[in-house]
Amino acid sequence: MKFALLVLGSPLGSGGADSAWRFADAALQAGHKVPRVFFMHEGVYNANQLAAPAQDETDRLQRWQQLSREHDCELIVCAASTIRRGVLDADESKRQQKSAANLSEAFEIGGLGLLIEATSECDRVLSFGC
């Protein structure tokens, strides 16, 4: 079965992002596919490469990066949500006249069309967070 995931919760503000990662990991271990995870609203904070978790905390960014790398899973952040929340890649940082970029290289900025495409290509779409 193919699952698309929609992550709406921030990595620290809700359990939604952690639940999404745990679901993706379990589904992949069971032989299912997770071709795309779409991060929207507060969920885009999961892609912030400048986040520095305490030593005794889980590195949530590293988990998403590893999942993407090992399972060929696209990590897409909503373009509108990233701009509003200051999670920018180099191109968008330049376009917005900002001095730095902080989007992790494992993630890419995309529009809602990619979410819609995932809903049509996957068997199920699950939403995490609020």
Q: What is the pLDDT along the chain (130 residues), one digit of tens a residue?
A: 999 999 999 998 889 999 999 999 999 999 999 999 999 999 999 999 999 989 998 899 999 999 999 999 999 999 999 999 999 999 999 999 999 999 999 999 999 999 999 999 999 999 999 7
CA distance 64 to 111: 20
DSSP β-bridge partners for residue 38: 6, 76
130 in active site: no
pLDDT at residue 13 in the model: 81
Residue 3 tokens read as 């699952």
Q: Which among 73, 78, 122, 130 is annotated as catalytic?
A: 78
Question: What is the 3 state secondary structure string of the chain?
Answer: CEEEEEECCCCCCCCHHHHHHHHHHHHHHCCCEEEEEEECHHHHHHHECCCCCCCCCCCHHHHHHHHHHHHCCEEEEEHHHHHHHCCCCHHHHHHCCCCCCCECCCEEEECHHHHHHHHHHCCEEEEECC
